[in-house]
């Protein structure tokens, strides 16, 4: 690759091919040699174009591998983080402490996510992903050492949450913005991949890798016996410190996959000095406010962060422990079921390369998922509980894919990372507040934590009604442009 981007190489290859077509000499006797040289350059140009096409073709799988490495580790974290805090084998803490720990995990995004969007646009995306994956590996490995030596503590969990949350704040806009360029380069070499399909494939990679991480996390310190129709054999236990090492190594592996990405574009805003970042952020804010679709999606994600993610991270693990008397295996089954539903939704969406009513599909899925939560009030059997979680996962899969596609299409291309960071900030700003709020409310119902389900359900219904009546999301039509 050298110091040039793939776009530059493609343009050069095309220019060289055009140049060879017009190569002629006015001097007698030299036409043959000039023609031979032109053919040589033409062949070299074709070889170069073929090499570029091969490189661009493997760039999408490399991107999906980067995505998978991060979310494999994230899946492990989703089980291990609440398990280490709530399990009697470790810290044995309750809802409020778990909520505050999850707040520490997501709060750095509120502080750094907008700055992360600016950095993602100005920096070399490839090198940024390599650096961030390596930085994210160290907190997981440090936590593994603490567990292995018996030095695990609640302040250490808070420190872990703040550290990995800060890295994630810079990771999200950098990684999500690159998919737009990857798909664009692939289209330029003749691929039929659309942006919607590229986002859906990235979402599928996210869900599959999370499911793998969740399954592994469920074996923490406990053997799980397979059903009789699978032979009835046992799997595990796997020590928690070993799973944390796997988490750290998976993150480090992402830096290797990132080596196969192109360097990509770097936005030049013309600003410099201390006020440059603030000026870029303000410009991104104006772009979001000026577009009803972007503003509507940001508001929706804020509500999802408060009502859905707060319940997902706090209420469900407490229900798992206090109602169904389960431990890490129950957290695993719950989260695997959720992300399996999300994966099923993504596979279904991948069949349709162009969905015209993306906003209508998104809001309908959110409404159905919110109403399904109310069934938990009846303290249903565990299999019914998992069925509700599966429906919730389907709604989430549709919402994630459609919301990302809407924002990617609506955002100005020269402000894409900044707009994505603002959109994600809506989600991440609501999550820590929602986690602390749900943790506090759950502690008011120590014997019946499932009663808290009324709050996220009512909150989401009100928000969806506002979205239908006051934003263009419900009536928008996505015109096929890619």
**Where residue 79 sits, what CATH number does that domain have?**
1.20.1250.20
The domain in which residue 234 lies consists of: 61-265+272-470
Domain assignment present for residue 345? The answer is yes
**Alpha carbon distance 432, 191 (integer Å):** 41
Estimate to the nearest angstrom the gap between the alpha carbon of 19 and the chain centroid.
44
Domain assignment present for residue 482? The answer is no
**Angle (nearest 5°) at CA 281 between 280 and 287:** 90
What does the block give as tokens for 391? 């429906």
Q: Which of 435, 427, 448 is nearest to 173 (CA)?
A: 427
Burial of 47 (0-12, 13-18, 19+ CB in 10 A): exposed
Q: What are phi and psi of 322, to 5 degrees?
A: -90, -30
Domain assignment present for residue 37? The answer is no
First to last CA, the chain: 27
**Alpha carbon distance 267, 118 (integer Å):** 9
* Alpha-carbon distances, residue 331 vs 88, 147, 403 (angstroms): 14, 19, 27
Domain assignment present for residue 134? The answer is yes
- To the nearest 10 degrees (0 to 180), the angle between helices 154-188 and 125-148 is 150
**Alpha carbon distance 328, 333 (integer Å):** 9
**Alpha carbon distance 106, 432 (integer Å):** 6
pLDDT value of position 9: 52
CA dihedral (269, 8, 201, 457) in degrees, to 10, reads 10
CA dihedral (43, 48, 54, 59) in degrees, to 10, reads -170
Domain assignment present for residue 19? The answer is no
Q: What are phi and psi of 238, to 5 degrees?
A: -110, 125
Burial of 154 (0-12, 13-18, 19+ CB in 10 A): middle
- To the nearest 10 degrees (0 to 180), the angle between helices 358-372 and 292-303 is 10
Domain assignment present for residue 55? The answer is no
pLDDT value of position 4: 47
Residue 276 in contact with residue 269, Cβ under 8 Å? yes
Domain assignment present for residue 393? The answer is yes
Low-confidence ranges of the chain (pLDDT < 50): 1-7, 10-11, 13-28, 44, 48, 51, 273-274, 481-482
Residue 344 in contact with residue 397, Cβ under 8 Å? yes
Strand, helix or coil at 401?
helix
pLDDT value of position 21: 43
Name the domain count of the chain. Answer: 1
**Alpha carbon distance 215, 228 (integer Å):** 19
**Alpha carbon distance 266, 285 (integer Å):** 20
pLDDT value of position 234: 65
Q: Which of 240, 108, 89 is nearest to 169 (CA)?
A: 108
Domain assignment present for residue 20? The answer is no
What does the block give as tokens for 433? 């507040």
Give residue 247's region: left, alpha or beta (phi > 0; psi -120 to 50): alpha
What count of other Cβ atoms lies within 10 Å of the Cβ of residue 223? Answer: 12
Q: Which of 246, 176, 201 is nearest to 349 (CA)?
A: 201
């Amino acid at each position: 690759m050298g110091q040039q981007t793939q776009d530059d190489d493609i343009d050069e290859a095309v220019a060289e091919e055009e140049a060879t077509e017009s190569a002629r000499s006015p001097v007698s006797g030299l036409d043959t040699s000039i023609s031979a040289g032109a053919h040589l350059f033409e062949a070299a140009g074709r070889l170069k174009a073929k090499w570029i096409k091969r490189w661009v073709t493997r760039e999408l799988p490399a991107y999906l591998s980067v995505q998978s490495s991060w979310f494999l580790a994230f899946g492990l974290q989703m089980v291990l983080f609440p398990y280490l805090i709530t399990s009697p084998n470790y810290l044995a803490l309750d809802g409020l402490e778990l909520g505050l720990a999850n707040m520490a995990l997501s709060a750095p995004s509120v502080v750094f996510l907008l700055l992360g969007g600016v950095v993602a646009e100005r920096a070399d995306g490839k090198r940024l992903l390599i650096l961030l994956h390596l930085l994210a590996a160290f907190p997981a490995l440090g936590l593994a050492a603490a567990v292995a030596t018996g030095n695990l503590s609640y302040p250490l969990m808070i420190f872990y949450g703040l550290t990995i949350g800060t890295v994630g704040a810079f990771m999200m806009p950098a990684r999500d913005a690159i998919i737009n360029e990857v798909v664009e380069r692939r289209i330029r070499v003749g691929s039929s991949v659309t942006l919607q399909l590229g986002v859906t494939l990235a979402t599928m990679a996210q869900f599959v890798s999370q499911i793998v991480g969740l399954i592994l996390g469920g074996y923490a310190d406990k053997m799980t016996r397979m059903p009789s129709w699978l032979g009835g054999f046992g799997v595990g236990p796997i020590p928690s410190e070993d799973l944390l090492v796997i988490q750290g190594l998976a993150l480090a592996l992402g830096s290797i996959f990132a080596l196969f990405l192109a360097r990509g574009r770097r936005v030049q805003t013309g600003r410099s000095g201390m006020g440059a970042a603030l000026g870029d952020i303000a410009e991104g804010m104006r772009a979001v406010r000026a577009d009803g679709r972007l503003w509507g999606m940001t508001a929706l994600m804020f509500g999802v962060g408060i009502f859905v993610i707060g319940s997902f991270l706090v209420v469900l693990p407490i229900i798992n422990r206090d109602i169904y008397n389960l431990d890490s295996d129950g957290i695993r089954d719950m989260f695997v079921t959720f992300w399996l539903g999300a994966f099923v939704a993504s596979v279904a969406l991948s069949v349709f390369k162009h969905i015209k009513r993306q906003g209508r599909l998104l809001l309908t899925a959110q409404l159905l998922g919110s109403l399904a939560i109310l069934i938990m009030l009846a303290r249903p059997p565990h299999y019914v509980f998992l069925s509700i979680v599966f429906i919730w996962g389907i709604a989430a899969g549709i919402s994630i894919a459609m919301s990302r596609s809407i924002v990617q299409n609506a955002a100005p291309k020269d402000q894409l990372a900044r707009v994505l960071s603002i959109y994600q900030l809506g989600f991440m700003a609501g999550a820590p507040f929602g986690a602390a709020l749900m943790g506090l409310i759950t502690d008011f119902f120590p014997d019946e934590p499932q009663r808290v389900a009324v709050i996220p359900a009512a909150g989401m219904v009100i928000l969806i009604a506002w979205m239908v009546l006051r934003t263009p999301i419900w009536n928008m039509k996505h015109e096929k442009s890619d």
